[in-house]
Structure 1
Amino acid sequence: DAFNLTSTYAYDSNIPSRLEMTCVANNAELQSLEKVNFATGKSRGVAWFVSHCQTQSKREAYVEQLQKHIEVDVYGACGPYSCDDTPFGNKEAVSANNLADCDSRVLNTTYKFYLAFENSLCEHYVTEKLTRMFVHKLNIIPVVMGHEDYKRLLPVGSFIDIRDFDSPMSLADHLKRIDDDDDLYNEYIRRKMAVRCDFPRDVLYECRLCEYLH
């Protein structure tokens, strides 16, 4: 005489705590961006905004190895950089309140790559680290680490998955190759900027919970 229901981040739970984003390629928009040079003004390579320094995914260990082969600017509690004053200011945590400003003022204007590394490697666990790159149309290439099948969520060519490389060094070589080739960089960004992402109807979690139980 008991019910066994789950309500988690997983999309296949009875009452998912979040709604799944659907992203598709817009070919018309892709063609309209053909002559735009998104590399203009980009003076830095890789950025990482992070506040949890020790994680289940051990993303910090991967970044440590990656930094042996390519420079990674770390913002927030786990690195020396802050976006509150200048791109290379004093160490301060990147709060949720100023994250959007950091994205538009620092990432969009300065960097070519962003590390969207999850703190846990769990199926369906994809957070705002990645989704805001597409929802806010940031002209930066997301580099993803997670247990999700990203090719199921996003069009191929709009992101870079570390699982496609056998080591941090090979990933770094690929990033440097893109950094040195504006045509290749622009191809990634055009594919990313032409992605249209939609969410299901915006219903509060509490309302969806009540609807399910009734």
Structure 2
Amino acid sequence: MSTGWTPQRPFLLLLVLCFICLFISYKADITYPDFERRAQSHDSIPSNSTELLNKTHSVVLVWMWPFGFKFELNCDIFNFTRCHLTDNRELYHKAHGVVFHHRDIHGSLENMPKGPRPVFQKWVWSNMESPTNSGKITGLNKLFNLTCNYRRDSSIPVPYGYLYPVTSAEESFKLPAKDKLVCWIVSHWSPNMKRVQYYNELKKHVTIHAYGRAFQKPIGDEDFVKIISACKFYLSFENSFHRDYITEKFFNPLTWGSVPVVMGPPRHTYEGHAPAESFIHVDDFPSPKELAERLLYLDQNHTEYMRFFNWRSTFKVKGALFGREIACKTCRYLQNHKEYQAFNDLNTWYWG
């Protein structure tokens, strides 16, 4: 009695299954690149692509340009993939994260979103200014899910700069020619500022070449680099003193071949960013007079001075790109943290 089975049937069934799989793969190949192209070109995302978007891209909406300065809406330089940055507020309801710049938020909050927040969306508070230079806004206290800031305990830390390893392809460091011992470029000036009082005492014991609006000597970007490079030491004095507040005033001289003399957070905080022997901290000396004596000594002892640059054989300096880096690191964070989060006490955390 025949069962209807033949040896060819399993082969035919396998052939049909393979055809179906190839067809599905082909359809995926022609659909995804088209979406990828539109995402990369920052076109509006089609409403029927929401599910695909959630699987492939994190959408970060820049609600306001920091201080009005625009930046490129891509994360190519960080090699972050699947990031769609946009300033198109029509995409608000599809954005996984919305970045707000503190100094551009109105005290009345009238320039914040009016519509309901999607349940999957995270609001990100960003600010690279110190608490002294940032006004507290009471209404912000329970609005945000995440913080993005120079502080190391931020949800998304973005320092003003960092050191990265030197590769064999990069040129070795050469110390720029020096014709000045100590320099300072400053605009923000007040007799009550600690850095001004320290400077007034320090200049009694060592010559300081001072520039900037505070000294009626404004300089352009090109002169800025030349001046710092030509000085053995640069006064990296912060305008206010707060937790982790270390700005470009520290990273600029490291970049251009001068030794920063720092005033700001404690020494151990700076050592979290650069080797201990790459800078001088004013707290290392009992008074400005002792600091001046040390600088004058190093001026006459080249071998000891050059030890401040030993780290250059291992690391180079890279400054932050601020708005763009904040948006891109927010994207990467959202890709890795899809759980619910809230930050309900911003004012206490930042202003104390």
TM-score scaled to structure 2, two decimals?
0.46
Q: 1:199 to 1:52 in 2, by over 3 A?
A: closer
Q: Distance in 2 between matches of 1:56 and 1:126?
A: 20
Question: Tell me, what secondary structure is at the counterpart of 1:11?
Answer: coil
One of 300, 305, 310 as aligned partner of 1:180: 300
Residues 39-118 of structure 1: matches in 2 within 5 Å?
41-54=177-190, 58-79=194-215, 91-94=216-219, 98-99=220-221, 101-108=222-229, 110-118=230-238
Residues 132-147 of structure 1: matches in 2 within 5 Å?
132-134=252-254, 137-147=255-265
Q: Distance in 1 between matches of 2:246 and 2:287?
A: 22
| Amino acid across the alignment from 1:205 | I
> What is the aligned partner in structure 2 of residue 14 from structure 1?
155
Q: Distance in 2 between matches of 1:49 and 1:200?
A: 20
Q: 1:22 to 1:44 in 2, by over 3 A?
A: closer
Q: In the TM superposition, what is the alpha-carbon distance from 1:19 to its structure 2 partner?
A: 4.1
Matched, 1:189 2:314: no
Q: In the TM superposition, what is the alpha-carbon distance from 1:132 to its structure 2 partner?
A: 2.1
Structure 2: tracts of 5 or more residues without a match: 1-141, 339-352
Higher alpha-carbon Rg: 2
Question: Tell me, what secondary structure is at the counterpart of 1:116?
Answer: strand
Q: Distance in 1 between matches of 2:328 and 2:260?
A: 33
Q: In the TM superposition, what is the alpha-carbon distance from 1:25 to its structure 2 partner?
A: 7.3
TM-score scaled to structure 1, two decimals?
0.71
Question: Tell me, what secondary structure is at the counterpart of 1:54?
Answer: coil
Structure 1: tracts of 5 or more residues without a match: 80-90
Query: Deviations for 1:81-122, whole angstroms, at most 9, x for unmatched residues?
Result: xxxxxxxxxx3324xxx33x12432222x3211001100111
Q: 1:22 to 1:8 in 2, by over 3 A?
A: closer
| Amino acid across the alignment from 1:10 | R
Assess if the C-alpha contact under 8 Å between 1:118 and 1:145 holds in 2: yes
Assess if the C-alpha contact under 8 Å between 1:56 and 1:120 holds in 2: no
Q: Distance in 2 between matches of 1:151 and 1:65?
A: 26
* Alpha-carbon RMSD: 3.5
Q: Distance in 2 between matches of 1:62 and 1:51?
A: 16
Query: Deviations for 1:166-200, whole angstroms, at most 9, x for unmatched residues?
Result: 11111101000001112222222344575334579
Bigger mean CA deviation after superposition, 52-61 or 114-123? 52-61
Q: 1:8 to 1:24 in 2, by over 3 A?
A: closer
Q: In the TM superposition, what is the alpha-carbon distance from 1:140 to its structure 2 partner?
A: 1.2
Question: Tell me, what secondary structure is at the counterpart of 1:147?
Answer: coil
Assess if the C-alpha contact under 8 Å between 2:160 and 2:246 holds in 1: no
> What is the aligned partner in structure 2 of residue 120 from structure 1?
240
> What is the aligned partner in structure 2 of residue 23 from structure 1?
163
Query: Deviations for 1:150-173, whole angstroms, at most 9, x for unmatched residues?
Result: 122111211111111111111101
User: Percent identical across equivalent pairs?
Assistant: 29
Q: Distance in 2 between matches of 1:105 and 1:8?
A: 30
Q: Distance in 2 between matches of 1:73 and 1:201?
A: 29
Q: 1:193 to 1:77 in 2, by over 3 A?
A: farther
* Larger RCO, structure (CA 8 Å, separation 6 or more): 1
Q: Distance in 2 between matches of 1:200 and 1:118?
A: 17
Q: Distance in 2 between matches of 1:206 and 1:188?
A: 34
Question: Tell me, what secondary structure is at the counterpart of 1:154?
Answer: coil
| Amino acid across the alignment from 1:138 | W
| Amino acid across the alignment from 1:9 | Y
Query: Deviations for 1:115-144, whole angstroms, at most 9, x for unmatched residues?
Result: 01100111110111111223xx31211111
Q: Distance in 2 between matches of 1:201 and 1:104?
A: 18
Question: Tell me, what secondary structure is at the counterpart of 1:126?
Answer: coil
Structure number with the higher helix fraction is 2
